[in-house]
Structure 1
């Protein structure tokens, strides 16, 4: 799929959607409520996604992957999120963690770390945020200093998705504190490296099946060959990565909202009040119409951004931020309306829309809050 259209999915894209939807319907959705209730990693979903090559579809064929383009990958994440938001972070975070290697890694580091992820033997996480460096990521304190031919790493990263489950981590650390953001470098750290440890999983509002933990680096020795890109180019690489992966968060938000709309639509057609289906009331119909209209607008913007991601267009920064911001705001609105349409039943865990509403909230926060996205958009407009 090298000839990506402006944004419209091709027959091949739709075939991927159909195949992924079938896997998710049969083998992901049945576990979603239990995964949320017990805050356990969705192993059954991971096994199903691996068996169908949907766990890391973005990895090129040269590294044992299926080579799905950015639009196909977005569609996969959308369909998984429609069934289970926690499970959608498997393909999403595998892309986030490996994107720096794909953008700037040497052939040696790509051939070492990408094939295990493509085969489903390992997962890859992304370590940028710190306890005191969230939106201001350049204020990070994690340090890497020269140690012979390698490096010695010390510090901590926070809010790391799938921490403890992933085998590999792209870690951003300060290598020259006198150069500010130009003194940050990216490295691959392995879970098995001596000195790597993890905090307790955070107790979260949503996406409970995806562990979020602190990652600690206590005098971790990194041998030669672990640097991703050039020394001092890490922060620029982190921002380039997010330009691409904000599209995946937009896709996740679209999927969550679609799942909520699907359920609410079915519910109001069956639920009867005042002697008729709730769906017959015009006020309810207007709510559904607004939900569907905003959802489809977000989907189309996400697909436009995905096509730009595939081509690495000059305006990807704008479209990636716009898609993430618009789609996540939409998902929060649509899932909240879905809860409203179910009334009291929407507020209890016997029905999935309350889970979807909780899951949607994080899409407005991670990979850059929506306030930061608006800063990015305005800066692009005014430069």
Structure 2
């Protein structure tokens, strides 16, 4: 049985209000606990985009965006761990290979949590991970620079590039094993709590049954490019949370109201373009709205720090946490197109 859209949003708000917000500063300093992951699994939100017949909700994109905003604004580290999950679900939903029937239902129902190990594909012409046919399966060698949710995820989708310039996506267990060795957790200025590591691949072998998708690298690049030209819901969620801090301060109400008008305007424009039926059109306009969203995010988090005064320098300050999370979102999922457009707007 699928949950109605309003029930899904209500679940996200309840999860945020009852668990994520009260513990966000502690999580920021100590790491996302397994109990948070279990709560997310029980929430029913991990199957938002999955088909109903596999236990998902097949929710409209507007519901997905709203729940992402809520979770990111409540605890960006927990949001970042769970948001990785939705990409493997989408890949498996679109796959026609046997792995779909093996993994899509447990991922859609929250029995399993997935992560992604393929953002390195955007490093072309560098090829950080190679995939080679071997013994009726695939051998992977190289380095995954960023893998989030280590120790929290059950499975991951890994990708490598073949000598024929084809991308091979596979599902693997998210654990140390022969041919796969994680680094110690990376110490980052923000979202260290999300348990990000790098992965050293030295002959990791996976059977053909683990393959989710194979396609030419050029086709992957063509499909991937428009995605990151759209503004992320997390940017709006963290900005909203920062404006709540400003509005609750002694002198901040008018500032918060003015910035929220700007935020709502950019959100409407960005989501309207994201819903355009042709994803490769209006790239420049999408990038312009994305950079405007960054502008409001920076203003909102800076205002929260200013409103808090010297207290904002305490690592336990909500304003300071949101400011660091905002800094992280400026580069999260950054591509060459996004970086050039953002730098040009700052000039």
Matched, 1:159 2:146: yes
Tell whether the 8 Å contact from 1:254 to 1:298 is kept in structure 2 after alignment.
no
SS in 2 for 1:144: strand
The match for 1:87 is: 78
Contact 2:150–2:174 (Cα < 8 Å) also in 1: no
Which residue is 2:115 aligned to?
Answer: 125
Give the superposition deviation at 1:46.
Answer: 2.2
Aligned to 1:351: 317
Higher alpha-carbon deviation: 64-73 or 251-260: 64-73
Alignment partners' CA distance in 2, 1:95 and 1:316? 25
Q: Could you say which residue in structure 2 is the equivalent of 1:223? A: 207
Aligned twin of 2:182: 198
Contact 2:315–2:321 (Cα < 8 Å) also in 1: yes
Q: Output the CA distance in 2 between the equivalents of 1:320 and 1:14.
A: 28
User: Structure 1: which 5+ runs fail to align?
Assistant: 1-11, 269-277, 378-383
Q: Provide the residue aligned with 2:246 in structure 1.
A: 264
The total of aligned residue pairs comes to 338
| CA displacement 1:113-165 (0-9 Å, x = unmatched) | 222222222222222345xx8x6344123111111321111111012222343
Aligned counterparts of 2:109 and 2:187: Cα–Cα separation in 1: 31
Q: What corresponds to 1:5 in structure 2?
A: none
CA deviations over 1:143-195 (Å, ceiling 9, x no partner):
1111132111111101222234322222221211xx5xx44332223225532
Task: Summarize the Cα distance change of 1:142–1:37 in structure 2 as closer, same or farther, 3 Å threshold.
Answer: same
Gaps of 5+ in 2: 343-347
Displacement, 1:26? Answer: 0.8
Partner of 2:100: 110
Alignment match of 1:372 (pick from 331, 337, 342): 337
Quick one: distance in 1 between partners of 2:76 and 2:227? Answer: 19
Q: Could you tell me which residue of structure 1 aligns to residue 10 of structure 2?
A: 18
Matches within 5 A, 1:1-383: 13-38=5-30, 40-103=31-94, 105-130=95-120, 136-176=123-163, 182-192=165-175, 194-230=178-214, 232-234=215-217, 236-237=219-220, 240-241=223-224, 243-244=226-227, 250-268=232-250, 278-279=251-252, 285=254, 287-305=255-273, 307-308=275-276, 313-315=279-281, 324-369=290-335, 372-373=337-338
**Higher RCO (CA-CA < 8 Å; seq separation 6+):** 1
Q: CA RMSD in A?
A: 2.9
- Alignment TM-score, normalising by the size of structure 1: 0.78
Q: CA deviation at 1:237?
A: 2.9
Structure-2 change in CA distance of 1:54 and 1:375 (3 Å) = same
Distance 1:323 1:63 in 2: 36
SS in structure 2 at match of 1:139? coil
Partner of residue 345, structure 2: none
What is the match of residue 273 of structure 1? none
Partner of 1:9: none
Check 1:93–1:161 CA distance in 2 against 1; reply closer, same or farther (3 A cut).
same
Taking structure 2 as the reference length, the TM-score comes to 0.85
Q: Residues of 2 paired with 1:190 and 1:120: CA distance?
A: 16
